[in-house]
Amino acid sequence: MKRYYLLLLPLLAFVFTAYNKIDEDKKPSTEKPNVIVILADDLGYNDVSFNGSQEIPTPNIDKIANEGAKFTNGYVTYSVCGPSRAGLITGRYQDRFGSGRNPLWAPNDISQGLSIDEETMATVLGREGYKSMAVGKWHLGAHEALRPLNRGFDEFYGFLTGGHNYFPELLTLTDISQVKSQFAAYKTKLLKNDKRVEETEYITDGLTRETVRFIKDNADDPFFIYLAYNAPHSPLQATKKYLDRFSHMEEGKRKTYCAMVSALDDGVGRVLDALEEKGIADNTIVVFLSDNGGHEGKWGADNGILKGEKGSIYEGGFRVPFAMRWPNKIQANTVYEKPVSSLDIMATAVEYAGASPKNKLDGVDIVPYITGKKKGLPHESLRWRMFDSKTYAVRKGDMKYIHKTNKKNGKVMTYYYNLAKDISETSNLKVSKSEKEDLQEEYNAWEKQMIDPTYLGLGQDKKYTSEHPDRFNTEVY
């Protein structure tokens, strides 16, 4: 018996060595996943082909949906940029901490942006050893203390304001002391960490380049990337390379918009390719969504069958293209029909990173719901508030309740829609008194936890400037 055992020893050693080699080649799923959030800006619900677009092919964005989960009821927390981003990056309703308005360009004002008492996803994941990078549009505060490097990120490449020019030759301002109006900030040169740099590429391409570099530099350790493209937010600007893809279309805003989305899709493809090249795609959570609905009439977006657009309380304002890929956990070609929220991204990420946020999150880990391990709804209800217009909405199950106040006469109007049967919100239903009271109480209980906006927003630009005459008087950064 001893002789046989001795004969087996070399074979056992070979098997053990081979097993370890396989384990080295394919990282086990128990490792902390990388996290990449790809955020489009003002992208229409019907402007990706995984949601049915016939005009704009988006094969790379579709890859995220087809190789993972597509959410048919994916929501953000507000229908304009700043508040929506504040909710996403903290995993908490932005009205909990006063970010219920679009922050202004006011680099002297520490209150104009995301409260310093809030933790970002980068801060929380950073405690667990994640390296992180914010790329593209920030729009969570221009004050030095509110910028990405002071909000948990190790690297930043992008711009601080709510929009930006896309052509490098239009970036003519070398520092923020030259910015003398809200939208002049669109002309600033990009920031690489805290220094101004000369970008040579179309902005969408440049943001992709820096993201790919970060992936390749950090592939051996867990990382988090917040890739916030400004495409296809105005101004409508596209290069000939992308415009030529739509040569069959008439000249105009829709053609340029389509070209901008196509550039965005190319960027997503390059990011996914970098993950494959480094062998880390299987254990990387990639989430794609828009910050709010598309601006149809003004900028050429298409929200499809959804009513409303950017800035509205209807589905076209905050139901967005939304998909998640994580091959180690989520099966390909999954379609998830129940409501999910951008709030869930942070909750999901920190769950698998083993991280502990200091503040209570409003999102949930949605992976068990996607895989079927958990039944029921991730959220019993979702709520939205537009403080200045005294407008709000609640979705509970399939029922949506909207409360609007007429700006001219103060008259209150209420609407009730069954979204499962009427996704376009065309038929205002008659509902029972008890159901009305239930939906109103759902909102009231939530609102009691919220606070008023802590700063004047884009809608109060002139008022803010009159109250802060030193608004644009700042040192060179």
Task: Please report which residue ranges of 26-75 form alpha helices under DSSP H.
Answer: 59-66
Per the structure block, which two tokens stand in for 334?
Answer: 């999954």
Per the structure block, which two tokens stand in for 283?
Answer: 């254990």
Q: Residue 411: what pLDDT? A: 92
Q: Contact at 8 Å (CB) between 302 and 240?
A: no
Q: Residue 310: what pLDDT? A: 97
User: In which band, very low, low, confident or very high, does the pLDDT at 473 lie, cut at 50, 70 and 90?
Assistant: confident
* Burial (Cβ within 10 Å: 0-12, 13-18, ≥19) of residue 438: middle
Q: Report the CATH superfamily, name and number, of domain 32-379.
A: Alkaline Phosphatase, subunit A (3.40.720.10)
Of 315, 290, 475, 305, the closest CA to residue 395 belongs to 315
The pLDDT of 173-193, averaged and rounded, is 93
Q: How many CA atoms lie within 13 A of 326 on its CB side?
A: 26
Query: Has 258 been annotated as catalytic?
Result: no
The pLDDT of 42-65, averaged and rounded, is 97
Catalytic residue from among 139, 143, 164, 379:
139
Per the structure block, which two tokens stand in for 263?
Answer: 């550039």
The pLDDT of 24-29, averaged and rounded, is 40
Query: Does residue 8 have a pLDDT over 80?
Result: no
The pLDDT of 337-358, averaged and rounded, is 98
CATH number assigned to the domain with residue range 389-452, chosen from the 4 options 3.30.1600, 2.60.40, 3.30.1120, 3.40.50:
3.30.1120
Token pair 């884009």: residue: 458
Query: Does residue 9 have a pLDDT over 50?
Result: no
Per the structure block, which two tokens stand in for 1?
Answer: 């018996």
Q: Contact at 8 Å (CB) between 253 and 294?
A: no
Q: In what order do the strands lie in the sheet with 381-386?
A: 381-386, 391-396, 399-405, 412-418
Between CA 404 and CA 411 the distance in angstroms is 8
The pLDDT of 312-330, averaged and rounded, is 98
Amino acid at position 21, single letter:
K
pLDDT in tens, 349-397: 999 999 999 999 999 999 999 999 999 999 999 999 999 999 999 999 9
Q: Residue 4: what pLDDT? A: 41
Q: Residue 20: what pLDDT? A: 43
Between CA 240 and CA 238 the distance in angstroms is 7
pLDDT in tens, 74-133: 999 999 999 999 999 999 999 999 999 999 999 999 999 999 999 999 999 999 999 999
Between CA 25 and CA 32 the distance in angstroms is 16
Q: Residue 24: what pLDDT? A: 38
Q: Residue 177: what pLDDT? A: 87
Query: Has 81 been annotated as catalytic?
Result: yes
Of 118, 173, 177, 179, the closest CA to residue 150 belongs to 118
Query: Does residue 28 have a pLDDT over 70?
Result: no
Q: Contact at 8 Å (CB) between 179 and 472?
A: yes
Between CA 296 and CA 320 the distance in angstroms is 14
Beta strands in 179-230 (DSSP E): 191-192, 195-196, 223-228
Domain boundaries, the chain: 32-379, 389-452
User: In which band, very low, low, confident or very high, does the pLDDT at 279 lie, cut at 50, 70 and 90?
Assistant: very high
Helix, coil or strand: residue 319: strand
Give the containing element (helix H, strand E) for 396. Answer: strand 391-396
Between CA 321 and CA 470 the distance in angstroms is 40
The pLDDT of 3-8, averaged and rounded, is 43
User: In which band, very low, low, confident or very high, does the pLDDT at 30 lie, cut at 50, 70 and 90?
Assistant: low
Question: Rounded mean pLDDT of the chain?
Answer: 93
68: Cβ contacts below 8 Å, ≥ 6 apart: 286, 323, 324, 325, 326, 327, 330, 332, 334
Backbone angles phi, psi at 184, to 5 degrees: -65, -25
The pLDDT of 390-406, averaged and rounded, is 97
